[in-house]
């Protein structure tokens, strides 16, 4: 009989292994010595020990799935429990039990990690949905559209949730995108309508602008072009190609008119410059009438100046006020002389002035007589009143006598 600390071989060749629960038969050996038998069964133990070491490494050092690790662990536990091997099987069992706890801990960690990943994914998707629903009401069409496309790509990169939750969130997300797309399509459809209306309006404005380009009614036509420009701005923009083509035609028609007007004004300005020189020379003649010594001769000379003045025509606007002002000064001096002569020789006015002077003299004389009586009677209050009335009438009388003197009487 042969033995070692973990097993023995009896005289019949039966091989035993020692465990905490006692000995158990692991096999028989008839072909050789008991030492060879123990060595054989010890090699089987070493094989089990190597398999357990490999599983320990895979569990502790790799990302072996918990389910796969559990299957391998259960298989090794069964092998150790029924092992036909000689060695410290209890130690192997303890190692497997320790490994079982590690696998279970990993399962718990991984379940927690999956739960956290799901919660993170849920939070991320809810945030995407919230942002998408906010963007659904945006009118920043390009920026919001780009952002919604980016949100879709972000969604694709997130883990799926449970089917119900994932479907509900996706429905809200998809609905928000649909609302935005509907609003954007409606906006651009309305914009297309507005642009088409603007194009039709501007076609009419261009047609009128082109029809006016040959006009020589400079003031009215220029004013009309200003109206057309105001209508152009109010019409809004057409599609880009149509807008550029219509603007080129509209601007071209204006250029034709305003260039023609500019040429005409240049010719007119040259003519008006000559007119200014003629009127300046004529003003010297008009101003020579002053001072007036012979009213009849002055009036005749002024009539001749006015006739020649009107015949000369327009002068530059900048000079017009000064030239007219100088002529008006001569005309005003002649009118004032004429008014003075009329006033001096008007018999009706002279008679009215004499009559008024007589009436005022009578009133003054009566007030003076009344005043003398009041003074003689010692009536102070009546004296004061009559003195005041007399002073007023005397002032009017003095003025009337001065006017009468102007008539030479």
Find out whether 400 and 351 touch, Cβ atoms under 8 Å: no
Question: What is the rounded CA–CA span in Å between residue 79 and residue 70?
Answer: 14
Can you say whether the dihedral through the CA atoms of 72, 73, 76, 78 is positive or negative?
negative
Average pLDDT over residues 370-388: 87
Write phi, then psi, for 251 (nearest 5 degrees).
-65, -40
pLDDT > 70? residue 407: no
Structure tokens at 403: 């006017």
- Please report the pLDDT score of residue 2 as a whole number: 62
Print burial letters for 6-32: b (CB count within 10 Å at least 16), e (below 16). bbbbeeeeebbbbeeeeeeebbebeee
Question: What is the rounded CA–CA span in Å between residue 67 and residue 107?
Answer: 8
Average pLDDT over residues 75-98: 93
Structure tokens at 108: 């718990």
Question: What is the rounded CA–CA span in Å between residue 279 and residue 300?
Answer: 18
Long-range residue pairs from 316-320, CB within 8 A, at least 24 positions apart, any chain: 316/269, 316/272, 316/273, 316/276, 319/276
Average pLDDT over residues 67-90: 92
Q: What is the pLDDT of residues 238-253, one digit of tens each?
A: 899 999 999 999 899 9
Average pLDDT over residues 143-159: 93
pTM above 0.75, yes or no: no
Q: What is the pLDDT of residues 10-51, one digit of tens each?
A: 989 999 999 989 999 999 998 888 899 999 999 999 999 999
- Please report the pLDDT score of residue 346 as a whole number: 67
Find out whether 383 and 361 touch, Cβ atoms under 8 Å: no
pLDDT > 70? residue 151: yes
Structure tokens at 280: 């300046």
Structure tokens at 388: 């005041």
- Please report the pLDDT score of residue 349 as a whole number: 67
- Please report the pLDDT score of residue 150 as a whole number: 95
Question: What is the rounded CA–CA span in Å between residue 180 and residue 132?
Answer: 9
- Please report the pLDDT score of residue 168 as a whole number: 92
Q: How many angstroms separate the first and last alpha carbons of the chain?
A: 187
Report residue 1's pLDDT band, with 50, 70 and 90 as the boundaries: low
pLDDT > 80? residue 409: no
- Please report the pLDDT score of residue 211 as a whole number: 92
Q: What is the pLDDT of residues 266-281, one digit of tens each?
A: 877 788 888 988 888 8
Q: What is the mean pLDDT of the chain?
A: 88
The rounded percent of the chain whose pLDDT value lies above 70 is 97
Long-range residue pairs from 298-301, CB within 8 A, at least 24 positions apart, any chain: 298/334, 298/337, 299/334, 299/338
- SS (HEC) of the chain: CEEECCEEECCCCEEEEEECCEEEEEEECCCCCHHHHHHHHHHHHHHHHHHHHHHHHHHHHCCCCHHHHHHHHHHHHHHHHCCCCCCCHHHHHHHHHHHHHHHHHHHHHHHHHHHHHHHHHHHHHHHHHHHHHHHCCCCCHHHHHHHHHHHHHHHHCCCCCCHHHHHHHHHHHHHHHHHHHHHHHHHHHHHHHHHHHHHHHHHHHHHHHHHHCCCCCHHHHHHHHHHHHHHHHHCCCCCHHHHHHHHHHHHHHHHHHHHHHHHHHHHHHHHHHHHHHHHHHHHHHHHCCCCCCCHHHHHHHHHHHHHHHHHHCCCCHHHHHHHHHHHHHHHHHHHHHHHHHHHHHCHHHHHHHHHHHHHHHHHHHHHHHHHHHHHHHCCHHHHHHHHHHHHHHHHHHHHHHHHHHHCCC
Average pLDDT over residues 203-214: 91
Residue with tokens 């801990």: 105
Average pLDDT over residues 120-128: 91
């Amino acid at each position: 009989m042969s033995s070692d600390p973990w097993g023995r071989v009896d005289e019949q060749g039966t091989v035993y292994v020692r465990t905490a629960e006692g000995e158990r038969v692991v096999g028989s050996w008839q072909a050789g010595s008991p030492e060879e038998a123990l060595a054989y069964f010890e090699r089987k133990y070493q094989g089990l020990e190597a398999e357990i070491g490999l599983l320990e490494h895979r569990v502790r050092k790799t990302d072996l799935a918990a389910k796969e690790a559990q299957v391998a662990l259960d298989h090794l536990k069964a092998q150790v429990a029924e092992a036909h091997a000689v060695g410290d099987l209890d130690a192997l069992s303890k190692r497997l039990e320790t490994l079982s706890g590690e696998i279970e801990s990993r399962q718990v960690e991984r379940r927690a990690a999956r739960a956290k990943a799901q919660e993170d994914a849920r939070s991320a998707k809810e945030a995407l949905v919230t942002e998408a629903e906010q963007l659904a009401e945006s009118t920043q069409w390009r920026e919001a559209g780009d952002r919604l496309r980016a949100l879709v790509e972000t969604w694709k990169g997130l883990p799926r949730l449970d089917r119900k939750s994932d479907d509900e969130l996706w429905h809200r997300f998809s609905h928000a995108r649909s609302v935005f797309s509907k609003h954007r399509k409606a906006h651009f459809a309305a914009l297309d309508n507005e642009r088409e209306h603007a194009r039709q309006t501007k076609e009419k404005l261009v047609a009128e602008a082109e029809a006016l380009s040959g006009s020589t009614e400079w003031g009215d036509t220029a004013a009309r072009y200003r109206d057309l420009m105001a209508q152009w701005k109010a019409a809004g923009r057409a599609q880009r190609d149509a807008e550029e083509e219509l603007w080129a035609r509209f601007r071209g028609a204006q250029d034709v008119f305003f260039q023609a007007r500019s040429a005409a004004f240049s010719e007119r300005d040259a003519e008006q410059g000559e007119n200014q020189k003629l009127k300046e020379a004529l003003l010297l003649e008009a101003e020579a009438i002053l001072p007036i010594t012979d009213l009849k001769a002055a009036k005749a000379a002024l009539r001749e100046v006015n006739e020649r003045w009107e015949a000369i025509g327009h002068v530059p606007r900048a000079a017009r006020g000064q030239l007219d002002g100088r002529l008006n000064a001569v005309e005003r001096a002649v009118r004032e002389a004429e008014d003075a002569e009329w006033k001096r020789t008007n018999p009706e006015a002279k008679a009215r002035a004499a009559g008024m002077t007589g009436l005022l003299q009578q009133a003054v004389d009566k007030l003076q007589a009344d005043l003398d009586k009041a003074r003689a009677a010692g009536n102070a209050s009546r004296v004061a009143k009559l003195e005041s009335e007399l002073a007023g009438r005397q002032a009017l009388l003095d003025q009337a006598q001065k006017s009468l003197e102007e008539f030479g009487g």
